[in-house]
Structure 1
Amino acid sequence: MNWDVTLLRPLWLLALPVLAGFGWWLYRRQGGVGGWERATRPELLRAMAALGRIESRREVLPLVATLGAAALAVLALAGPAIERRDAVSFRNLDGVVYVLDASPSVTEDPRWDELVTMGRFGIASLGSRPAGMVVFAGDAYVATDMTADHVQLGQTLSLIGPETVPDPGTRPERGLDLAAGMLAEAEVIAGDVILFTDGAGLGQDSLKMAERIAGQGARLSVVAVGAATAAMETHVALGGGALMSRDVPDGLSDWLSQNARDRLEQQSYPLLFWRDFGRVLLVLALVPMLLLFRRQAT
């Protein structure tokens, strides 16, 4: 452990000169008679002191105790801390990418709103996992990069419509290719790719992408817009995921929550933590305060 002390809030040290000046002022005032020293003749004051009518003895210990406690409190507020580089940091290696067929045959389907609701249920079950979104038709585009802002992701999903992707056609392999690239770029090794499709365009090219996704340690699942097809079942079998239907609205959220494979990996670099000893100094400040409660001899 590094024992170099750092002040987290050093501006509090500016109070120390003020405290020292105030202490000196109290010391000068202590034991005197205030403004009478300027208004009374010195010989009269000496006479009153000889009769014991003026207390000229200065009590230094209570003043030192008070100022010492105040100084320790100021140092505590300054936040003396020791750097800790032995703290372990983790990051989540499980991510999810939605791949949505945004062609008019899907987005204009009367059941599209049900799929959006199903997708939002799935987003709500992600927990701490980051997620992204890809849309495709004749070409594919990243709608949302990998993010932990699930509210934004859900809003993006709700905005997808027939005009989102202008390219005509249905090329799911391009969407899956982008999803695999997103997982690789985010260094996700236990992710899920969720393909929303009516089955159009699924073929040998998309099967190769399903194999690539599985090779990265991720799973490919399919949410069927209509009836499940043999091509969907083949992709799911190769991708190691699940085939889900809009008839079971909770199917996706259950899959993402119950079958989540959150993995934590210790980072190759340590995070920077500080151990603040300010509270310890506050406890020590109570020690000089005890001197103020000592019994006076009579």
Structure 2
Amino acid sequence: MTDFALLRPWWLAALPLLAALALWSWRRGPDAGGWEQVMPAPMLMAMRRFGHLSGDTGRIGLFPFLAAGLIALGLAGPAVPRTDAPVLAGSGAILIAIDMSPSVATSPVLADAQAAAAQILRAANGRAVGLILYAGEAYDVAAPTEDPATLETQIAVLGPDTMPGKGSRPTAALALARQMLLNVPDADLVLISDGGGIDASTAAEAERLTGTGTRLMLLTLSQDASAFARLAGVSASAPARAPGPVLRRVSAASSFRRDRAVTALRFRDLGPYVAALALLPLLGLFRRPE
């Protein structure tokens, strides 16, 4: 969650228009009750100098535009996160696909994959979580369950002998995930891999997966992320040792991001306080001219 947000940012479009009107009003000069249209400029200046016309209306004439700008800012809804916001359970499902090819299963990065998967379980926020393991083939170890704690043991015992085959076929994992998440709204697939086996067929399968509405996210186990560049439509990507960006994406359902009622619960709207500041320039309009 960011530290600052605009709940209704389209109101900011009024600010350039107000700025243009204020500039036009300032360049036109102070209002003289219509006399500026029939009197020469030198005579108008002389009448102001002798006090027959108020000459202190230049800055005051900009006060309405300043007040309107503050109101527009307030309507844009500047907001900060609420510390007392309720925790809402998400919807949809999350699939974790872990690369168990020999390059991962027999190396220290397997521990990084297990730790990242465990963090996803904790960040699921009530959403159903399933597990896929793949090497030369892909296997659905667990269908999405609303009790992801049951997957903790299965993830903890992963080792070099877990998968029966060799090789690395992430294409098979993406195809299996597409079948498992078909007709599941608000679905995420988190691929934990070192990038081995990603080729043109993997990119094509990733495109078919995201075409169904499923979001594809990556947790990389290798410092060289060039292999993942083949995959288009990735919603979030991060190293497995620092999975923060991916965890933030999976922790809240996309339907919540579009729900105004839920947004109101998560943020404290400062708009009314900003709009109230418009009273200060408006009070200046009631000052008696000297």
Normalised TM-score (structure 2):
0.54
Matched letter for residue 261 of structure 1 = S
SS in 1 for 2:254: coil
Deviation at 1:194, TM superposition (A): 0.8
Structure 2 match to 1:183: 181
1:232-262: CA deviation from partner (whole Å, max 9, x where unpaired): 1331xx233211102314343223225x324
Matched letter for residue 239 of structure 1 = G
Deviation at 1:223, TM superposition (A): 0.9
SS in 1 for 2:248: helix
For the pair 1:261 / 2:251, whether they are aligned, the reply is no
Structure 1 residues 199-214: aligned runs within 5 Å: 199-214=195-210
Tell me the number of residue pairs that the alignment of Structure 1 and Structure 2 aligns. Answer: 169
Structure 1 match to 2:152: 154
Identity fraction in percent: 27
Give the structure with higher Rg (CA).
1
SS in 1 for 2:149: helix
Equivalents in 1 of 2:245, 2:113: separation in Å?
11
Structure 1 match to 2:238: 244
1:138-169: CA deviation from partner (whole Å, max 9, x where unpaired): 11111111111111122221122221211111
Structure 1 match to 2:227: 231
SS in 1 for 2:181: helix
Gapped runs of 5+ residues in structure 2?
Answer: 1-88, 257-290
For the pair 1:192 / 2:188, whether they are aligned, the reply is yes
Deviation at 1:101, TM superposition (A): 0.7
Normalised TM-score (structure 1):
0.53
Gapped runs of 5+ residues in structure 1?
Answer: 1-90, 264-298
Structure 1 residues 110-129: aligned runs within 5 Å: 110-129=108-127
SS in 2 for 1:156: helix
Matched letter for residue 145 of structure 1 = A
SS in 1 for 2:204: helix
Contact 1:221 1:239 in 2 (8 A): no
SS in 1 for 2:163: coil
Deviation at 1:93, TM superposition (A): 4.9
1:84-124: CA deviation from partner (whole Å, max 9, x where unpaired): xxxxxxx9752111111111210222132122112111111
Structure 2 match to 1:133: 131
Equivalents in 2 of 1:130, 1:262: separation in Å?
15
Structure 1 match to 2:162: 164
Stretches of 4+ aligned residues off by more than 3 angstroms: 249-252
Contact 1:121 1:250 in 2 (8 A): no
Aligned CA-pair RMSD: 2.1
Matched letter for residue 197 of structure 1 = S
